[in-house]
Structure 1
Amino acid sequence: MRVVAGEYRSRPIKAVPGKNTRPTTDKIKESMFNLLGSYLPVGGRVLDFYAGSGALAIEAVSRGVGQAILCEQYRPAIETIEENIRMTREEAKFILLRGKNRSRLKRWYEQCQLRFDLVFLDPPYHSAQLQEDMVWLKEQGLLTDEALVLCESDDHLELPGEFEEFYLLKQKSYGITTLRLYQYKGVE
């Protein structure tokens, strides 16, 4: 795996050892950022809610996002993320929240009151609850108005085109993987 584009382009990214974490391939990662296109919030804040190796957050910062918050509870993944963040040589742009993503993120938000312009939801396919995650993020006040949520799932997961102030902007399938880009139209 490598960083596809931007400031860290071509730098290697380590994968999480073992079979507990499914890495997002370079091809899918490139497709995700192509789907984002001009929507990428340059200078904004991104949340990688199921960070794994941290590759999506690192790619976003490489392409101009100002700060990335990564959530992860699996110890080998945390160690891999730490190594991958060191590779950027810009550790100050990343915050790694260790532990259960919802409880840890809620505590972080209570301390700093910072919200997200872009969220990556790439959970393990067998336990994907993307719609529930988006509603939870909204209810916690974690999203800016016009925030983007980029979801990765297997092709069996059904999601509506519109729900709870989330509107589907784009959807693409690549083999068994489906990418969906939603926009949150909340009221600030």
Structure 2
Amino acid sequence: MRIVSGNYGGRPLKTLEGKTTRPTSDKVRGAMFNMIGPYFDGGRVLDLYAGSGGLSIEAVSRGMESAVLVERDRRAQAIIRDNIRMTKEDSKFQLLAMEAKQALAHLSGSFDLVFLDPPYSAEDIVADITELCQRQLLSQEVMVVCETDKAVSLPEEIAELGIWKEKIYGISKVTVYVR
């Protein structure tokens, strides 16, 4: 895997071996960013189930100012740290080594782009978006990008957000919520 485009474009990304994480393929990541961007003029990213960190690193590569990555798995945290070092801009990234639910209680400020790719899909996505809205962690122009199995059906509206775009890429479905 590699960073698809932007300042870090072409640089390799490490991923975790095994089934504890499901890294988003270069092809799906590229298509996802073409769907939502493809480039940004600043902003703050939250990746609540970071895995290898590829999505948030790609977002910063494409113009986001900073990213908060949340990951509970220790082996994945080590991979994320390596991938952040690869950017040579460590100060743009903050890794929270904890469960997503725990992280939501610690976060402050607002996020312009949120990635949700939880291991248990729909139930976590609804709860996470609801809590992000209740805690006022989303900017007015926020995009919440959810990656699920293509068979998962997410609600048309969650809290203050509604589906803006939805596309299927192979076995994955990408659903984007906005205000």
Q: What TM-score does the superposition give when structure 2 sets the normalisation length?
A: 0.94
The match for 1:99 is 98
Question: Relative to 1, partners in 2 of residues 1:136 and 1:126: Cα closer, same or farther, differing over 3 Å?
Answer: closer
**3-state SS of paired residue (1:167):** strand
Long gaps (5+) in structure 2: none
CA drift of 1:106 comes to: 1.9
Shift of 1:31: 1.2
By how many angstroms is 1:125 displaced?
Answer: 4.9
- Measured in 2, the distance between the counterparts of 1:159 and 1:42 equals 29
The answer to whether structure 1 residue 181 and structure 2 residue 176 are counterparts is: yes
Q: Superposition pairs for residues 81-120 of structure 1, below 5 Å?
A: 81-107=80-106, 109=107, 113-120=108-115
The CA distance in 1 between the partners of 2:158 and 2:19, in whole Å, is 34
Q: Specify every segment of 5 or more residues in structure 1 that has no aligned partner in the other structure, as ranges.
A: none
In structure 1, what is the Cα distance between the partners aligned to 2:71 and 2:18? 16
Q: Is this contact kept in 2: 1:49–1:119, CA < 8 A?
A: yes
Within 5 Å, which residues of 2 pair with 1:7-86?
Answer: 7-37=7-37, 41-86=40-85
Q: Which secondary structure state, in structure 1, belongs to the residue aligned with residue 16 of structure 2?
A: coil
Quote the offset at 1:127 in angstroms.
Answer: 7.3
Per the TM alignment, residue 37 of structure 1 is displaced from its structure 2 partner at its CA by: 2.3
Residues 128 and 25 of structure 1: CA distance in aligned 2, closer, same or farther (over 3 Å):
farther
Q: CA RMSD in A?
A: 1.5
Identity among equivalent pairs (%): 47
- Residue identity opposite 1:34 in structure 2: N
Kindly indicate whether residue 136 of structure 2 is the aligned counterpart of residue 141 of structure 1.
Answer: yes
**Alignment of 1:129 onto 2:124:** yes
| Amino acid in the other structure paired with 1:86 | R
Q: In the alignment, is the contact (CA less than 8 A) between 1:57 and 1:68 conserved in 2?
A: yes
Q: Does the 8 Å CA contact 1:121/1:130 hold for their aligned counterparts?
A: yes
Q: Does the 8 Å CA contact 1:35/1:181 hold for their aligned counterparts?
A: no
Quote how far apart the aligned CAs of 1:97 are: 0.4
Mapped partners of 1:46, 1:163: distance in 2: 20
> Partner amino acid for 1:36?
I
Number of matched residues? Answer: 179
Query: TM-score scaled to structure 1, two decimals?
Result: 0.90
Contact (CA 8 Å) 1:41, 1:118: kept in 2 or not?
no
Q: What amino acid sits opposite 2:78 in the alignment?
A: E
SS across alignment from 1:129: helix
List per-residue Cα deviations over 1:55-98 (Å, max 9, x = no partner). 00100000000000000010000000000000000000000001
CA contact (8 A) 1:41 1:117 kept: no
State how far apart, in whole Å, the 2-side matches of 1:173 and 1:18 are: 24
Cross-structure match for 1:150: 145
Runs of 4+ off more than 3 Å: 125-128
